[in-house]
Structure 1
Amino acid sequence: MEVVDQVLHMNGGTGHTSYANNSLYQRKGISMTKPVADDAITNLYSSISPKSLVIADLGCSSGSNSLFVISELIKVVDELRQKFGHPSLEYQVFLNDLPGNDFNTIFKSLPSFQEKMSNQLGVGVCPIFISGVPGSFYGRLFPSKSLHFVHSSYSLHWLSQVPEQLENNKGNICVACTSPPIVLRAYHAQFQKDFSMFLRCRAEELVVGGRMVLTFLGRRSEDPSSKECCYIWELLALALNDLVSKGIVDEETMNSFNIPQYSPSLSEVKSEVLKEGSFSIDHLETFEINWIAYDSEVMNLPDVFFDGGYSVAKCIRAVVEPLLISHFGDAIIEEVFCKYREILSDRLSKETNNFISIIVSVTKKRMIMIDQDVHP
């Protein structure tokens, strides 16, 4: 696989297989975690009352989800400033993702977004300045102490690279129930390294008292190969292995493909936050969304498509297709996702399967310097 920074991005545009049109599950997760984000931004504004507010959305992807998050946060702050009798704030919003992200689709939607916000907030509200920031959030992105609020939704389970020592993960494309212990340890170690770096970078960039609200795929079990976090990827591996059995995909090519994704447990997230030490934890919990709890009205599709696998296959395709193309080429894509939908429809019709998410809300601490001088 090519360097992750170069090939990891969601399907761009607004077409049939785009992330913009196939991120209903992520939107549902954002809606479910809104009370936590609202509480964090409320506490931030109440304690700091900045004259201008700087917000960063990390892993924004393309489509309406990022701008939905931003609009909700700004509406909460505007209601608060009116309640306190404060003048209108200036808002600086940074939308971040890897360089391959489809920023153009977001930028094209900005005029209508600005008009909508102006209508909702009323006359006299300061403009909202929005910029795109390409780059990995596993490194520094912003000047020191320049951010007030960081939001990231369904991005931090993506690793900075495919872990090493995955040679024995044959037949799998990620952590799976048949993965040997060395593979589980490699994925966990990569998550620890990446999440620790993320926290260190954001600790430099946030002001004291700044907040972060982070949501990512996770698990309740302490077993990293548990079904609740690996099942969907295991079924995609079955679809790919079916193509191997037909001679369409080379076995060696299949065995060398692994996805840079890890779903941590609650305790693993807590451990890394406490170990890094710059943040206090305000809220930490898991929640779940049923994979087949789709909304036909939102998706605007005929009932015939709702076979339990159609919407899930489209969601996963929007997320992982660029990685598959970079490794296998584009000739197999239609066939692999046709088979994947077939497998999903069969499995999800027989059993309930939810995907688990973790949300953590943290505040940057005021670090107390201890005098190291030794006096006689």
Structure 2
Amino acid sequence: MQATQNSPKSSSERERDSDIMEVLQVLHMNGGNNQTSYASNSSLQRKAISIAKPITEEAILASFCKTSPESLGVADLGCSSGPNTLFVVSKIIDTIYAKCSQISCRLPEFRIFLNDLPGNDFNTIFTSLPAFYDKLKEEKGEGLESCFIAGVPGSFYGRLFPSRSLHFVHSSYSLMWLSQVPPELDSGNITNKGNIYMAKTSPPEVLRAYLKQFQKDFFKFLRSRSEEIVPGGRMVLQLLGRTSADPSSKECCYIWELLAQALNDMVLQGVIEENELDSFNLPQYAPSPPEVKALVQAEGSFIIHRLETYAVSWDPEDNAIQNLVFDRSKRAEKVATYMRAVAEPLVTSHFGEAIVHDLFKRYRDIVSEHMETEDAKFTNLVISLEKK
């Protein structure tokens, strides 16, 4: 039964709401443009966006040709801040501009909505918009004056936009983040001792709790977008995933196991308390293609056009030339720095700021050892969907 004004919330409901609110407040990338900011450490995400570019172009063109809108509504969900945010927007505009030039039709106006949680560094995005608009006009002429970009703070695990107002939705490296840590872990009913995420040593009930939370969140995401996207509109979603049936497989979890190893070392040396570590769990889930497909089919509002996986090295600049002059320590430094840009707000909110530098220095050394023996890669999932 849902709580109403005449039905006060129970203590467990209040605690759950508090947990969700805490995640909303602290789940954001490092802001600004300094050395440890997300803006300075998002080349991995940019590489993933570039690899998926043909699928994104195919979907946006299919939506545009099918719906023929005079005003094209586009949303980038989990936009974060930094160069990748407007990189996605510019590629979408480029695609429509090229198509309109090819068939000699009038450009639609662009309504671009950049969404992320309220703690996101929207100010950095907004200050970069004047230069972005100027570049559009310089490259494409006055026809691009009808491009309107707005920030939309809020969780995408709920409604964000008016009904049938969007023609295309993009999301990259965001949907693996959950709305909250599975409540069974937060309440202490399940213990994930010595781990901060799903791991080989996690009890089966931990893995089930994470899957249950992902299923709940992803279903709500699909249901919310089904209200906001016009029939024939498209979505392209890209997130960390896995090909294995095992949710604790190395391909999606091991990078976090190494961070847990660094934290466990700090426990052994008395830097942090054991109970502090045992009460820290990440709100993330990397799904498999069958799990995603089952949820899309269960929700029922979308047709799957593509559901693909591909691998990306932990070092996004990894290539054959670099391997000839392989510098393991520098590669590990890059990995540790971009993981810090992602995880620091969560770590700080739980353990405090004092341990951060030491933690990620230890983490860098552990990652360096791992990369010496293994060709470490992420598995990315890309899903292209059409609203029925």
Q: Give me the TM-score of the superposition, normalised by structure 2.
A: 0.90
Mapped contact 1:75–1:121 kept (Cα < 8 A) = no
1:18 equivalent in structure 2: 37
CA distance in 2, matches of 1:88, 1:197: 33
- Which one of 369, 374, 380 corresponds to residue 346 of structure 1? 369
**Using the alignment, how far apart are the partners of 1:121 and 1:32 within structure 2?**
25
Q: Deviations over 1:303-361 (max 9, x none)?
A: 97853311110111000100000000000000000000000001111111110010000
**Hey, what's the Cα distance between the residues in 1 that align with 2:96 and 2:43?**
26
- Residue 90 of structure 1 deviates from its aligned partner by 0.8
Task: Report what 1:46 is aligned to.
Answer: 65
* Per-residue deviation, 1:89: 1.6
- Between Structure 1 and Structure 2, the one with more helix by share is 2
Partner of 1:370: none
Report the secondary structure of 1:308's partner residue: helix
Q: Is the 8 A contact 1:239 1:340 kept in 2?
A: yes
Moved over 6 A (4+): none
Which among 123, 142, 153 is matched to residue 172 of structure 2? 153
SS at match of 2:184: coil
Per the alignment, residue 125 of structure 2 pairs with 106
| 1:180 to partner: Cα distance | 0.5
Amino acid at match of 2:269: K
Q: Which moved more, 1:52-61 or 1:111-120?
A: 111-120
Q: Which residue of 1 aligns with 2:262?
A: 239
Once the two structures are overlaid, the 10-residue window that deviates more, 86-95 or 120-129, is 120-129
One-letter identity of the residue aligned with 1:138: Y
Q: Given the alignment of the two structures, is residue 279 of structure 1 paired with residue 302 of structure 2, yes or no?
A: yes
Unaligned runs of 5+ in 2: 1-18, 320-325
The number of aligned residues is 360
Q: Which moved more, 1:133-142 or 1:160-169?
A: 160-169
Looking at structure 2, the residues matched to 357 and 25 of structure 1 have their Cα atoms a distance apart, in angstroms, of 11
1:34 partnered with 2:53: yes
1:21-100 equivalences under 5 Å are: 21-100=40-119
Q: TM-score scaled to structure 1, two decimals?
A: 0.93
Percent identical among aligned pairs is 57
Unaligned runs of 5+ in 1: 297-302, 366-376
1:165–1:182 CA contact under 8 A, matched in 2: no
CA RMSD, 1 decimal: 1.6
Q: State the distance in 1 between where 2:139 and 2:51 align.
A: 22
Deviation at 1:88, TM superposition (A): 2.2
Q: Which residue of 2 aligns with 1:195?
A: 218
| Structure 1 position 30, deviation (Å) | 0.2
Superposed displacement of residue 281, structure 1: 0.4
- Structure 1: which amino acid aligns with 2:331? G
Measured in 2, the distance between the counterparts of 1:215 and 1:208 equals 21
Q: Distance in 2 between matches of 1:7 and 1:125?
A: 36
Partner of 1:214: 237
Paired with 1:36 and 1:268, the residues of 2 have a C-alpha distance of 21
Which residue matches 2:140? 121
Deviation digits for residues 82-119 of structure 1, max 9, x if unmatched?
22221122101000000000000011111111111222
